[in-house]
Structure 1
């Protein structure tokens, strides 16, 4: 494998994440990521609604001062949700778990909280500016990575194949 900006030399040909050696790791990843995003977006909206109820009640106690928090409640919930789930032990959000995906760094390690939080921020920024074109980008990379995945060095693979169940 030759080195390029999209495929760093740090990944050896015998690596866990090489699509030439294990193409099954990336089968159907893009479609499942879209479904996982929809599930996760619904979860974040539900958690945002719950947090909003608390902000409303807190606003009455603080004579409306707490209502200033409404502008940041969705981003805060999204970052905390992704950081806790994607950066957690299973390296997958609830939507990713449902669709059988897991995240790995290029080295094969699980991403931590900081990478997971940065990933969701870049995801929502790229969706805001490049909707639906960010999905087209994944069709041209061997590992089915989107632009924000490449920027952070994150891969999404089939969990069953990775764990040797398929």
Structure 2
């Protein structure tokens, strides 16, 4: 990773726009916990539907139960993070938004890949993932750096856009 990639002048800088990064890590943790509960509820709903389907098909449909939780996670992130709001429900509650940094649009597929990479890096080594966020100037985690995304506070970002526009 070269220096130009890390220090791009058009990305918000915590030194000049600290309001965009104020309390970002604690907000990300809160959003994660809220999303975890919502994914659990969604998995439970999918699981009950899969169980009913399994009973109606005399057990054949129970084979699909292996895909219930992954499907719930993919649907949740694809629909929420891939929406124009660019935030899951937990992120909306915690007033944060995911922003692409490489000029590409944030669509449903990128949201799913971002979430998959988050879960993969978090599963492999959560302490390193969190340490990355503590020591990068924009509080980016490993998956943010790889995917080219940045998490910022939504309301200060909107106010900043309104001042410029």
Query: Is 1:133 equivalent to 2:128 in the alignment?
Result: yes
Q: How does 1:11-160 map to 2 (within 5 A)?
A: 11=8, 13=9, 15-107=10-102, 111-160=106-155
Q: Distance in 1 between matches of 2:26 and 2:90?
A: 12
- How far apart are 1:121 and its partner, in Å? 0.7
Describe the SS at the equivalent of 1:88.
Answer: coil
Equivalent position SS for 1:131: helix
Q: CA RMSD in A?
A: 2.0
Aligned residues: 160
Residue in structure 1 matched with residue 163 of structure 2 by the alignment? none
Distance 1:16 1:54, change over 3 A: same
CA contact 1:103–1:110 (8 Å) conserved in 2 = no
Question: Which consecutive aligned stretches of 4+ in structure 1 deviate over 4 angstroms post-superposition?
Answer: 107-110
Question: Which structure carries more helix by proportion?
Answer: 2
Q: Normalising by structure 1, what TM-score? A: 0.88
Residues 3-31 of structure 1 show CA distances to partners (whole Å, capped at 9, x for unaligned) of 527516xx3x2x25333432321111111
Structure 2: distance between partners of 1:120 and 1:68: 25
- Structure 2 residues not aligned, in runs of 5+: 161-165
| Matching residue of 1:4 | 3
| TM score, norm. by length of structure 2 | 0.88
